[in-house]
Amino acid sequence: MNSFQYVNARTTDTAISEAGNQGRFLAGGIDLLGEMKEYIAQPRQVVNIKELPGTREVTRGKEWKIGANVTIAELERDAELKRVFPGLQQAAAEVGSPQIRNVATVGGNLAQHSRCWYYRHRDIRCLKRGGSTCYAREGENRYHSLFSGNPCISPVVSNLATALAALDANVVIRRGKEDVTLTIPEFYAKAWDNPQAHHSLGPSDLILRVEVPDGGRRSAYRQVSEKSSFDWALVSCASAGKVDGRKLSQVRIVLGAISPVPHQVSAAHELLEGKELDEALAARASDLILKDVTPFAHNGYKVPIADALIRRTLLQLLVNA
């Protein structure tokens, strides 16, 4: 780890000013410190943002406002959030270990960088780190994307992003002197086109909070991992929608860990709108979502997992009253 300056920021403007173009924000530090130890990230200045005002609260109402510094454990333990947004609570409960959830933050989970082992290897300069080759394409790719809009096939790994996308949540960031609101697809859009991007944030963009509309929709989240706990998702899936008997409306289905962005297909949402859900309809929706899938040499096993999770999370909406 290289030497760096450490600054405690007390205001948002100070944090952005101190970070500049060669600094990094520090909240839980789970991802940043690992990159610094491996010389992947070498910021000249680390700006502590844990005490920024307005970033540690959860405000309930027609629209829930969840501060960027709220910990994953706080989401997991919030009984009212579990009642209103069960899918989001289920996603939080799958993040890391209890020790990690006690420290990791909402903002950090959304902004974390690639877990691709080629990107994380200190001696390899892959495409995402400014090199010319995505080594995963012809190499070991069993944890990588089934869909990609650029040569890099590293997938997004944020549990919360998958659940929040299904809930039509927004992320409020401070960009310069202005607060900017991004949808979850907008928050990750740059990663679809740009192999070096992990998300759409600039170097000094700072996540302030997440806003989740409470529109009376049910939600569900499931993931499959190699280990039963403390492991990254091989595939994750979140579904949300209004349910009247068995009839669905305002449906969203989002897959994680299979694309550089939380993956959703509008044709599947349109198929489900206003229809009564059964296993056959869930299977048709899954077929639409996975129609253009392009597995690589070692990750074709993800396709049947994704199919099963889509159908199961959809059917879970009928019982998540």
Rounded CA gap, 153 and 281, in Å? 30
Residues 6+ apart with CB under 8 A from 293: 146, 147, 303, 306
Tokens of 320: 């998540």
Rounded CA gap, 129 and 147, in Å? 20
Q: What pLDDT, in 10s, does the model give residues 72-118?
A: 999 999 999 999 999 999 999 999 999 999 999 999 999 999 999 99
Q: What pLDDT, in 10s, does the model give residues 130-146?
A: 999 999 999 999 999 99
Strands (E), the chain: 5-8, 23-26, 45-48, 58-59, 63-67, 170-175, 178-183, 206-213, 218-224, 235-244, 247-256
Rounded CA gap, 116 and 154, in Å? 6
Rounded CA gap, 45 and 83, in Å? 41
Rounded CA gap, 143 and 120, in Å? 14
pLDDT band at 247 (very low <50, low <70, confident <90, very high): very high
In angstroms, the Cα distances linking 206 to 18, 99, 179, 199, 315 are 12, 25, 9, 12, 37
pTM given for the model: 0.96
DSSP letters spanning 158-176: -HHHHHHHHTT-EEEEEET
Q: Kindly report the number of other CB atoms within 10 A of residue 106's CB atom.
A: 28
pLDDT of residue 122: 87
Mean pLDDT of 33-57: 93
Average pLDDT along the chain: 96
Is pLDDT of 71 > 70? yes
Q: How many CA atoms lie within 13 A of 233 on its CB side?
A: 32
Rounded CA gap, 310 and 312, in Å? 6
Mean pLDDT of 278-298: 97
Mean pLDDT of 265-288: 98
Mean pLDDT of 160-177: 97
Mean pLDDT of 275-297: 97
Rounded CA gap, 217 and 249, in Å? 9
pLDDT of residue 130: 94
pLDDT band at 321 (very low <50, low <70, confident <90, very high): low
How far from the centroid of its chain's Cα atoms is residue 69's Cα? 16
pLDDT band at 20 (very low <50, low <70, confident <90, very high): confident
Percent of the chain with pLDDT over 70: 99
Percent of the chain with pLDDT over 90: 94
Q: What pLDDT, in 10s, does the model give residues 193-214?
A: 999 999 999 989 999 999 999 9
Tokens 């297909």 found at: 265
pLDDT of residue 137: 97
Where do the domains of the chain lie, and which CATH numbers do they carry?
A: 1-52 (3.30.43.10), 58-112+154-213 (3.30.465.10), 218-316 (3.30.390.50)
Q: What angle do CA 86, 104, 20 make, to 5 degrees?
A: 125
Radius of gyration of the chain (CA): 19
Q: Is 76 helix (H, G, I), strand (E, B) or coil?
A: helix
Mean pLDDT of 47-52: 95
pLDDT of residue 5: 93
Rounded CA gap, 316 and 321, in Å? 10
